Amino acid sequence: MSRSARFRELLKSPPFVCLGAHDALTAKLAEQAGAKAIYVSGFAASGILAGEPDVGLLTQTEMFDHIRRICRATSLPVFADADTGYGGILDVQRTIRLWEEAGASVLHLEDQAVPKKCGHFAGKQVIPKEEMQAKLRAMLAARTDPDFFVVARTDAIAVTGIDDAIERLTAYAEAGADGLYADAPESIEHMQELVRRLKPLGKPILFNMARTGKSPYLTLDQVYKLGFDYTLCPIESMLATHKAVKEMMEIFLREGSTDAVADRLTSFTDFNRFVGLDEAVAIETSYNVANAELERKVDAA
């Protein structure tokens, strides 16, 4: 079964979380921890690749390369942020082709105007819903893997209100979107209204569990009981990395040693085991032994 087909199977047994991974290493960690799917955030990509805020600075091909490296490091289905599709009709069609080529199984396309911003930032603007419908139809027409899952995202709650956000997602469902996602609902009442009015459309509804954004922070079980089918835990791996590395560097520069944080450092041996050094050495050795045996037989002949 393909990774895309496996993602669709997950949707038959909710709830589950797409665990954020900001690079190949954290993708491997997510899989080892037991995650069922991985999420690749544009917010995290901007921070990791460029050290910049999520204000639409990364290009389509930068994000493609980032997603591809993560997909190579894991066997899990990968849900990859596609921002606004990086332009117009032809751009969104190229985006889905590239995301498929990279190995992703899911993307979300948002209805923000350029320059886009993180969904939890102030100052967002949205395009007309008819324009977003056209982009969705074009993207879906360019899909080559029928199991690839396209989520329509609206950022309208903070711009034009909850009613417009729901009207937009209803229109995006009509355009053929596989799933629906309103980013940054600001209260449990918003969440309840989204579910009440969108559930009859029969499309899986996504919730973003980012801990320190605009939305209420709830557990996966609480979100499911409200009626959401699955969630994103999008940027926590990056935030945890930022805090841990910041503290380690500050302590080392202050004390001239990492003694104070030694218990928080993976050993050299354990890290090499995790990234597959033992397997790499075994493969190389097996071929070298076979080659040496071949050379011995040739010399004997």
pLDDT tens for each residue of the chain, 301 residues long: 999 999 999 999 999 999 999 999 999 999 999 999 999 999 999 999 999 999 999 999 999 999 999 999 999 999 999 999 999 999 999 999 999 999 999 999 999 998 898 888 888 999 999 999 999 999 999 999 999 999 999 999 999 999 999 999 999 999 999 999 999 999 999 999 999 999 999 999 999 999 878 899 999 999 999 999 999 999 999 999 999 999 999 999 999 999 999 999 999 999 999 999 999 999 999 888 767 776 776 677 6
User: Is 83 known to be catalytic?
Assistant: yes
Annotated catalytic residue, options 18, 71, 118, 233: 118
131 flagged as catalytic: no
Whether 39 is catalytic? yes
Our answer to whether residue 229 is catalytic in this structure is no
Question: At 96, which amino acid appears?
Answer: I
Provide the pLDDT for residue 290: 66
Q: Which fold has domain 3-234?
A: TIM Barrel (3.20.20)
The single residue of 66, 94, 108, 168 carrying the catalytic annotation is 108
Active site residue 208: yes
| pLDDT, position 121 | 87
Task: Name the packing angle between helices 24-33 and 236-255 (round to 10°).
Answer: 110
Catalytic residue among 81, 147, 178, 183: 81
Of 91, 164, 186, 193, which residue is the catalytic one? 186
Active-site annotation holds for 153 = yes
pLDDT in the model for residue 120: 86
pTM: 0.94
Q: State the angle between helix axes of 89-102 and 129-142 in degrees (0 to 180), rounded to the nearest 10.
A: 40
The active-site residue, picked from 94, 111, 208, 233, is: 208
Which position among 83, 111, 155, 183 bears the catalytic label? 83
Domain boundaries, the chain: 3-234, 266-300
Based on the residue annotation, tell me whether 22 is a catalytic residue of this protein: no
Among the options 23, 31, 54, 236, which is catalytic?
Answer: 54
Marked catalytic residue, from 18, 22, 39, 86: 39
* Catalytic member of 153, 155, 178, 230: 153
User: What pLDDT score was predicted for residue 294?
Assistant: 62
